[in-house]
Amino acid sequence: MPLWQLHTVTSYSIISTSSLTASILSTFFVKKHLKISALLILMLVFTSKTHAQLFVSTNQAESIESGNIYSSNIDFVNSSFDDLLQQADDKRSSHNQLSVNIISYLHSKANQLSKQQKEYLTYLRAYQFTFSANYQAAIPLFKQLIKTSQQPQLRLRAHETLITVFSITQQWEQGLLHIQKLIDLINNADDKKLAQGALITVTAFFNQLGQYQEALHYLEQVKQSDITDIRDTCFIHQQYALVNLRLLLTKSEQVGILNTETLIEHISKSISFCHQANEPLITNLLRSYLAELDLFNQQAERALTLLLPNIDEVITTNFPTLINLTYNLIAKAYWQQGDIANTEKYITLAQKKLPRLADTQQSIITYKLLSQLAERQGRFEQAFQYHRLYSKVKQKVADEEQAKQLAFQLAKQSDYQRKEEIKRISQQNSIFSSTQHLTQQQEGNHLLLIILLIVLLITLFFWGYKSWLTQQKLKLLTEYDYLTQVNTRAQFIVQGQQALEQCQAVQKPVSCIMFDLDHFKSINDKFGHIAGDTVLQQVSLTCKHICRPNDFIGRIGGEEFAILLPECTLLVAEDIANRCLTAVASISFAEIGINTAVTASFGVSGTEQVDYNFTRLLADADSAMYSSKHHGRNCVNVYR
């Protein structure tokens, strides 16, 4: 039977036996950069035919390697190897420890197994390693099965699990490559249940990649098949709710998504299905979806009424991501109500889970609320420390999100080129075949041959031109920030390093200006993200006009920008910073409802202090900018 999986970056996992391991829940939390209102979209778990359950810890994985056998009620000696293998696969949900014991026992008897039994055991051991986050041990075993196994179902399951592993380890290109191979296997699969599970795995992968239209495409194929098992219904409903929730909270205009009332009704129905299926973890994930919608609509009491009665059930899952999510939602609900004591209680509980959820969307939410709470309580130094952690993790998650989008675009380009190459070869073969046929029948028909060759050359020219345009679009995507039309962080660093080296060669000074919009979060909260985007665009455009032709500006973070000024002294750079300060404060945003001045804090540094060290140059400008923040904002500080 196929396998479905759920992973965290620790030794926790959720598994169930159906069309394969779909381990996307924690990877969503670890890799996906989302707004707080869309947090629950990261909670992706589904299965088919068997239960979902908390799985293997690190010491259990070690027992697989060492052959340790735990006590169990099964008769190992009098059971056939086939029965034991099937029980190990079947019991992973309801009796997980028993499954681990069986695998350990069979591993000790490996020399007595047939070739097919060994392959089955290899697969079971591989997914155990996957669940314990030992991917280096799991990946070679799966690849070995794909290469050597004569069992189509086993190869399909191995492909599915590898897709999951590559999503967790952020090897997006590899995951997309295996999806192409998996689709071919699905089309030829005799087992429709297995094919159905594989399609859900593909859906989950595209969900994590943020390609929700692709996810809906494959999910619709799953919904068209006959679904009779209640657990299948539970997980497919959960998956469908997840896609629609993500699109709804991001105000997507995709055709076919559910409205708020319909989505709430769908989630409530899904909770009923999953409760009947005895899937407490998925049931509580769905409850978190409803709670997030309540908080999004400022209905904190409804969220608390939904979450608090089930907190013990959440804790008994022992799944850090779900527990942290629930604590975060409860703390946020109390924060909306102004209940500082309970906010502190539950955000502290959430903080205790952070060591297992480092650099994730969960840690972003926790650090942000901790910073707000500390500021409200007057603990400003601690609030500042939490805010720095929040900003650091937020930027890292944003960079990872950008990497995912780039990987998808590159994969699309690669697939497009592959199809175009096949089309070109087909056209070329057709032309050559026609040419040979014409030559045999009419040696004098050279004009037609010339026409065909011209068509071929034109086809190749347009194909090459279209490919070049696509490459240019991809280059533009990676080098320029789509919102502000200035350099991305990565492109700014590359150009800055080059400019610094050129100025060092001729001993010309270089200066750097960094600035951050003051109270930008309050603009987003009060006037909306569209207004915030307008502010960012106008500020970046204003500063670009003030800069010299050879200066260049980059967007370093959400509302943080940097300007590098080649052949510019510290005194001139300070003057430019003051001009930018004045110009930004004079921008009118009355048309979008902002009647107060938007200001920024500036920091200036130069090579006079740090020689030609680019890292120090940025760090000193950043330090000077934070000094501006501490001195009342809306001012310029020079690092001396």
- Please give the Cα distance from 595 to 564 (Å, whole number): 31
* Residue 139: count of CB within 10 angstroms of its CB: 20
Query: φ and ψ at 107, to 5 degrees?
Result: -65, -35
- Could you state, in chain order, the average pLDDT of each consecutive group of 10 residues for the chain (640 residues)? 34 30 31 30 33 35 44 72 84 65 86 89 84 83 90 89 84 83 82 81 82 80 73 79 77 58 85 85 89 88 93 84 89 93 91 70 86 91 89 82 70 65 70 66 73 81 70 62 88 91 93 94 90 93 93 91 94 95 93 91 91 90 93 92
Residue 477 pLDDT: 56
Q: Please report how the helices 115-131 and 58-66 are oriented relative to each other, as an axis angle in degrees rounded to 10.
A: 150
Pick the closest to residue 406 from 505, 475, 459, 350 (CA basis): 475
Cβ-proximal residues to 524 (8 Å cutoff; 6+ apart), any chain: 531, 532
Residue 603 pLDDT: 96
Measured between alpha carbons, how far apart are the two ends of the chain, in Å?
A: 68
**Does residue 580 contact residue 543 with C-beta atoms inside 8 Å?**
yes
Tell me the one-letter amino acid at 433: S
Strand partners for 566? 510
Place of tokens 């008994």: 316
pTM metric for this prediction: 0.50
Q: What angle (nearest 5°) sits at the alpha carbon of residue 278, between those of residues 276 and 282?
A: 100
Strand partners for 560? 516
